[in-house]
Structure 1
């Protein structure tokens, strides 16, 4: 059986690679730049959720 920490790490790597792939393909097809005003709030939300998830994981 895998430990929870290993599964969490592998899941994080998978999500990061899928996000980077999607971002790269979208920018190649649409030749667009990142809009800082639009992307800041979701990025902050992702950071906060990641911190909350880490706290819950450490409580297990």
Structure 2
């Protein structure tokens, strides 16, 4: 009756944050990108934020370095 409140807080769906191991930089420009998927054949899918617009693209894995 007068104990602790057993109700849990409502969870909201939030955009998952990138893990530090997912952060890379483009070798050519130095722009930070997030690794989304590795296709295994030397191609990777990355996301980048430029001018507050999220863009995705497929590039070669050799074109990025760990951030």
User: TM tier, shorter chain?
Assistant: under 0.3
Higher relative contact order (CA 8 A, sep 6+): 2
Q: TM-score scaled by structure 1?
A: 0.24
Higher fraction of strand: 2
Q: TM-score scaled by structure 2?
A: 0.23
The higher radius of gyration belongs to: 2
